[in-house]
A and B are shown apart, each in its own frame.
Chain A
Amino acid sequence: MRRYFGRKLLTYLITFFVAATIDWMIPRFMPGDPIAVLVAKTNGISSQSAQYLVDYYNNLFGLNKPLPVQFLNFWSSLLHGNLGLSIYGDGTPVTQMIMAAVPYTLALLIPSILLSWWAGNSFGALAARRRWLDNTILPVGYVLTATPYMWLAIVLSFVLSFSLRIFPLSGGYGFNLEPTLTWLFFTDLVAHWVLPFMSLFLVMFGGWAIGMRNMIIYELESDYSRYLAALGAPQGLIRKYAFRNAMLPQITGLALQLGVIVAGALVTEIVFSYPGLGHLVFQAIENEDYFLLQGIFLFIIVGVLLANFIVDIVYVIVDPRTRVAMRGGTA
């Protein structure tokens, strides 16, 4: 068990190192000059003072050093929890900007992942035993899971907010409100949250429901189900076993899907101008703010890796076969 997790941990660390290095490289080798963008904001100054500003900023952000030094600096400040200063945010620390956006993204991700997983699996299990459900609503599941996140988000925002005006069109809360601990602000927050949540939830729901339904049918036809049926075990017991065993691949599926889901959340936020990380990525790209971009990606990488690690641990707890294999049982 120790060795297993040790190996896993090492894999995750290597993955992190590689991903972070790529993350460091991409903005530096991308076309475009963020300092020029920044200096261009201050219009009406002489070219001499402009040159002075460029030098000043290059120095401030450490961009005038040789690349290897920049790389080492990157890691050393990273280990100190320092992701640099945002150009777009006029020198606000990147960490601070990320921390302001993270609650919004998590508020979308966590409920939509957990609820869609739960609802999709329950529904899929139900569909596996009710022919009419299988025939009517399952096709809907196929359509949902095949829908790109962005597309569903656009449809939802067009129908439910632009046309029917049930939900607000964009933003995290109304422009006329200040974040306060009031009931008014809270309901407004929820109203803005519903649509981006729904577009994430619905797409994932379709995928889980179909996966579960197919897994259950597979398990119900497996040898241990047939044996139980031959010994006269009631349907209840056979279904219970099939459901438990069908759940296991769904947990692995969750680990595999996490990256896709996070990407889905990012584009959904852009569609709804929802002030989470996705929205921030969008701003960072528009303003060629590569410290910010780099910081957000790094944050997402760590988040996804961490979540994967948790799913790995959960899987070992719920599937006895992995535990047996770790003890070196005969297969």
Chain B
Amino acid sequence: MSLQVSDLRVYYRTLAGDVQALDGATFSIADKEIMGLAGESGCGKSTLGNSLIRLDGRMKYVAGSVTLDGNSLPVWDNDGMNEFRFRDVSVIPQYAMSAMNPTRKIGTMIAELLESRGESYKEIRPELMRRIDLVGLQPDVLSRYPIELSGGMKQRMVMVISTLLDPSLLIADEITSALDVSTQRAVAETLVSFRDHGFVKSMMVITHDVSILYQTADTILIMYAGKLAEKAPTKTIIEDPRHPYTRMLISSLPEVGVRYANKKLSGIPGSPPALLNPPTGCRFRARCPLAFDKCAEEPPFIEIAGDHSVACWKATRADA
């Protein structure tokens, strides 16, 4: 097991109270596994991704533990996390286009970043050049400023930088959404090749576009309103989803297995509950066609078959 997350809760502090954006996540990612994380906008995907590497100012760690390669990650301790960042957990942020300092040459920035982490730029440089070539960039990008690169080039450059120290876990947050269809495909393929080359051991690919996951992800985790709904191998999620939300999500896609890049998660009537004072019981209840009395209690996220976990009273065979 590469990553194990258990009962992780992270809230946003606001004047009105706590926004329960991540409310008890328990799952694991195996070595070599690329896990897709999908769900409607605002369901807490970025919150989950960020809490594995860096909580920003307004995020409040509430409970839970994270273990990576047998080491417990002090996710609540900003300074304590520093030694794990980049080397063990790394991120390709949602804002990859603006992630590089605009007034530094890219090579200079990488050198300063590496040296500040106690790594030798000189030793890493040959590998850096190899990877720059691998993603189809020219060696001279290092002597350019970010402004001189196109969006897709910046994206690839950030992908190379983030994975330079061969992290065990890479979090890629919405890295395809700002790109056109053909670039999206290239980026997805690059992610897979990074795993195949062993640059990263396992990966969490966050997206609200499930179709991008079909050819990228080994497993898919579906979130709904701050909670985990279902996790299973990609094939199972597509062919035999158990959670009503997942089913509606998948059937709202025109044709399974075919890429519909512009197909977003929409078309499910109603909208997710506010996370400031979320309803008790199953959070999907208000929109669920199968809801029944028992759903006033919160369904546990449990394994119903090997590698297949669901949080729904109807999904467990005994109740079905």
By a beta-carbon cutoff of 8 Å, the part of chain A in contact with chain B is 222-224, 226-234, 236-237, 241, 244-245, 248, 319-321, 324-325, 329-331
Contact = CB atoms under 8 A, between A and B. Distances in A.
Contacts of A329: 145, 147-148
B149 A241 contact: no
Interface of B: 53-54, 56, 81-87, 90-91, 93, 95, 98-105, 112-113, 116-117, 145, 147-150, 158, 161-162
A330 B148 contact: yes
Given A232-B86, A233-B116, A324-B145, A223 B98 contact: yes
Given A227-B99, A228-B101, 8 more contacts: A226-B54, A231-B86, A231-B91, A231-B113, A231-B161, A241-B103, A321-B102, A330-B150
Contacts of B105: 320
Contacts of B103: 241, 244-245, 248, 319-321
Contact of B98 (A224, A244, A319, A324): A224
B116 to A, nearest CB: 5
B56 to A, nearest CB: 7
State the majority secondary structure of interface residues on A.
Answer: helix
A224 B113 contact: no
B101 A232 contact: no
Contacts of A233: 113, 116-117
Contacts of A224: 98-102
Nearest to B162: A231
Contacts of A231: 85-86, 90-91, 113, 117, 161-162
A330 B100 contact: no
A329 B53 CA distance: 34
A245 B101 contact: yes
Contacts of B95: 223, 226-227
A230 B101 contact: no
A241 B104 contact: yes
Contacts of B113: 228, 231, 233, 237
Lowest 9 A-B CB distances belong to which pairs? A232-B85, A227-B99, A223-B98, A329-B148, A231-B86, A232-B82, A223-B95, A224-B101, A237-B116
A119 to B, nearest CB: 24
A32 B158 CA distance: 70
Contacts of A228: 101, 113
A237 B111 CA distance: 12
Given A223-B93, A230-B54, A232-B83, A241 B101 contact: yes
A126 to B, nearest CB: 20
Contacts of B116: 233-234, 236-237
B159 to A, nearest CB: 12
Given A223-B93, A231-B162, A324 B99 contact: no
A223 B150 contact: no
Contacts of B162: 231
Contact of B84 (A226, A232, A248, A330): A232
